[in-house]
Amino acid sequence: MKNLILVKRYTQGLVGALKDEAEFSAVNRELAEFRELVSTHGALKGTLASPFVAARKKTQVIKDVLAVSGFMAKTSRFIILLLGHGRLNLLGDILEELPVFWNERRGVATFEVSSVVTLADGQKERLRAELERLEGRPVFLRYSIDQGLVAGFSLQRGNVIYDASLRGHLAKIKERISEG
Q: Pick the last residue of a domain from 83, 103, 123.
A: 103
Q: What is the pLDDT of residue 171?
A: 66
Give the pLDDT band (50/70/90) at residue 1: very low
Q: Are residues 85 and 27 in the same domain?
A: yes
Q: Are residues 130 and 88 in the same domain?
A: no
- Identify the CATH number of the domain in which residue 87 sits: 1.10.520.20
User: Which strands sit side by side in the sheet containing 152-157, from one edge to the other?
Assistant: 139-145, 109-115, 152-157, 160-165
How is 15-45 classified by DSSP, letter by letter?
Answer: HHH--SHHHHHHHHHHHHHHHHHHHH-HHHH
Looking at the 3D structure of the chain, how many domains does it have?
Answer: 2
Q: Are residues 154 and 142 in contact, defined by beta-carbon separation less than 8 angstroms?
A: no
CA distance 110 to 118: 18
Q: Pick the last residue of a domain from 80, 103, 126.
A: 103
Does the pLDDT value for residue 166 go beyond 70?
A: no
Q: Full-prediction pTM beyond 0.85?
A: no
Give the pLDDT band (50/70/90) at residue 95: very high
Average pLDDT of span 58-77: 87
Which amino acid does the sequence have at 118?
A: T
